[in-house]
Amino acid sequence: MPEVQTTKGSAVTSWDPWKMFDVTPQELEQVKKRKALAAEKKAEFRMIKNNPAFLVNGGRGGHITDPALQRWDAARATYGDFFRVNKRNTKWLFGAYIIPIFVTYAIASREIRIRDEKNRRGEIPMKDKCFRAFLFI
């Protein structure tokens, strides 16, 4: 804490930054070096962002590639080579494809069967038969 001196009813502090923040001259020099290094890295990033061919392939052009993006792309391209049947993808198969198709078929065939029985008994007038048959109602 800095020392406080009182003069004529008001508080005046003698401010010494070396005592207040406990920073040695060596640490202050390191802070300045880190700040300069950060500025250099920002300049390098701007250079790469604006002209990526400058640093790739010795300045002879090319593309900057992200290794993680390359791995992801390769994994997507070769998914079928490493596919194995397990519980999760079996549930997905049944839940997304087989069960909805079966339920749709069961509902439609039931409606068609009921309509066909009504047609055979003569309960549906002739004027409604074609229109209802078209809509499967």
Mean pLDDT of 70-83: 91
pLDDT of residue 1: 46
Report d(CA 85, CA 73) in Å as an integer.
22
Mean pLDDT of 90-114: 94
What is the percent of the chain where pLDDT is above 90? 38
Which of 16-25, 55-64, 123-132 bottoms out in mean pLDDT, i.e. has the lowest? 55-64
pTM of the model: 0.40
Report d(CA 63, CA 43) in Å as an integer.
20
Mean pLDDT of 66-92: 91
- 3-class secondary structure, 96: helix
Inter-helix orientation angle 126-135/99-121, to 10°: 170
Q: Which of 28, 1, 21 is nearest to 13 (CA)?
A: 1
Model confidence band, residue 73 (pLDDT cutoffs 50, 70, 90) = very high
The domain segmentation of the chain, as residue ranges, is 85-137
pLDDT of residue 69: 86
Q: Do residues 75 and 93 touch, judged by C-beta distance below 8 A?
A: no
